[in-house]
A = this chain, B = another copy of it.
Amino acid sequence: MRATTIHAPHDIRVEEVPDAVVRLPQDAVVRVLRACICGSDLWAYRGESAREPGQRIGHEFLGVVEETGSEVSSVSRGDLVVAPFVWSDGTCEYCREGLTTSCEHGGFWGAPGSDGGQGEAVRVPYADGTLVRLPAEAAQDDRLLTGLLALSDVLGTGHHAAVGAGVRPGTTVAVVGDGAVGLCGVLAARRLGAEQIIALGRHTARTDIARSFGATDVVAERGQAAVAAVRELTGGHGAHAVIEAVGTEQSMRTAVGITRDGGAIGYVGVPHGSGTGLDLGEMFNRNIALRGGVAPVRTYIPELLPDVLDGTVDPSPVFDLTVPLEDVPAGYAAMDDRSALKVLIKS
């Protein structure tokens, strides 16, 4: 079969790899219908996260079950399924608590020895714990299928940030980051009842999506000017709940600056620059909480799925470029130069 591999920074290839097969009784093989490229894939693409030459890549996919191991009971051949970006056994202490990303047997697609999502098929460990069945008829609805793909990562991650930030009905929310996760954070905040949603971003193509997702205000400034603008919009106080969806020192500094005293930052941007940018003294004096991390998306899918199915939540606009599998390298280049927001891969 064909799959995407990464050999060195900026060296992404689509090449022949061994077919995905059932190796263990808990495995399933999923033929990929939709996959995509994540902002976090760019860290590997840019060489900021190390990868072994030839390692698979891609952690978001949905498709059709092709084969199942003898112990798999929750999905069958022919089922339409979506996979979260981390596999998990569904039975360990952490999985039972809903923290599937800390599963004792969990793992990340594309890790050495495992398949990545950007390929023709994927061997799925612990299929019962990992995969979520989708209605078969969704396969006939192109836009819906694209929206459902967002359940694999960005929608659940935006939701995790909103939950971490403490978004509740009536709250004021600010979102740092105009990528797909930040935009999904806007969607999630609206879904959780936020009254005011301030999106920080300078690219009108993106802030237009933010507005269509529920943002009530847009702040184009950066740094201290952004802090001043958000305070201006919030009676001088800042936002109760801040979604941090970037992960850089600058974005974290901005997040702290725009959070209201006693508020919380829900952070889901993979941290780059460990700790720096986080002014603990300011957080301490103003009682600002920090909650978040790698999103246990598997746990959120059953909660978010009905709203995607009935159209209440439609994250599909975050995909603004579609490529066939063989053009994945061009998709990376487009996301790297920010000409694309998020790239959809259609097999």
Contacts and interface: CB of A to CB of B under 8 A. Distances in A.
A296 B293 CA distance: 27
A281 B277 CA distance: 13
Interface in A230-283: 237, 261-262, 264, 267, 270-271, 274-281, 283
Contacts of A335: none
Contacts of A287: 99, 101-102, 292-294, 296
A274 B285 contact: no
A304 to B, nearest CB: 18
A284 B261 contact: no
Contact of A294 (B101, B164, B285): B285
A94 B274 contact: no
Contact of A261 (B94, B289, B292): B94
Q: Which of A102, A261, A293 has the most CB of B within 10 A?
A: A293
Interface string A279-311: 111011111111111101000000000000000
A284 B262 contact: no
A43 to B, nearest CB: 12
A141 interface: no
Contacts of A274: 278-281
A280 B289 contact: no
Interface in A87-128: 93-94, 97, 99, 101-102
Given A97-B262, A99-B261, A262-B97, A270 B284 contact: yes
The 9 A-B residue pairs with the shortest CB-CB distance in the complex, in nearest-first order: A287-B293, A102-B261, A289-B291, A271-B280, A99-B262, A284-B293, A275-B275, A290-B290, A275-B278
6 contacts: A264-B291, A267-B284, A271-B281, A274-B281, A283-B293, A284-B293
